[in-house]
Structure 1
């Protein structure tokens, strides 16, 4: 069994309040877990309106499958124009 986690520190450019920030983040988190073997959450900077850290975790029998799930989750951030990844850390268990 392989457990993979990726933490992405991000900046949100168009968020002018915590409400706007949470709307953008919830959109990413819902798309990430919808129908996939993945858990996702905002894990840091909850009270800062233009800064966040998102974590994605996947469990599988092969590292290739887990890497694919995590890469798909990161691509949800990268395809958006209102958010930018500034730091990404992978952990394997």
Structure 2
């Protein structure tokens, strides 16, 4: 089972692309260190305060995939630098 979650997020404090990239680097590193996931920025590359990221994980059991993705979203939600606005799941 492959699970993907697509998230649109706002980064209110970012005043430049450099600041946005620092926040994205921090969150992607944290997710990859703690969970068995891959993370990538998928859209809004040139906007300072907006991003779209996708998080992917794979396992034989859907329950494990769902738990891993839910934990990833909880980590994002605990980050004061980012606010998650739109979230969509995809199952492959």
State the TM-score bracket (shorter-chain normalisation). over 0.9
Mapped to 1, the partners of 2:58 and 2:89 lie a distance apart of: 14
- 1:34 aligns to what SS in structure 2? helix
Alignment root-mean-square deviation, CA: 0.9
**Segments of 4+ in structure 1 off by > 3 A?**
none
Instruction: Tell me what 1:23 maps to.
Output: 22
Distance in 1, Cα, partners of 2:20 & 2:74: 19
1:24-39 correspondence to structure 2 within 5 Å: 24-39=23-38
Q: Which stretches in structure 1 are left out of the alignment for 5+ residues?
A: none
Cα contact 2:5–2:54 (8 A) shared by 1: yes
Cα distance, 1:78–1:35 mapped onto 2, change above 3 Å: closer
SS in 2 for 1:7: strand
**What TM-score does the superposition give when structure 2 sets the normalisation length?**
0.95
Any conservation in 1 of the 2:35–2:72 contact (CA below 8 Å)? no
The runs of 5 or more residues in structure 2 that have no matched partner are none
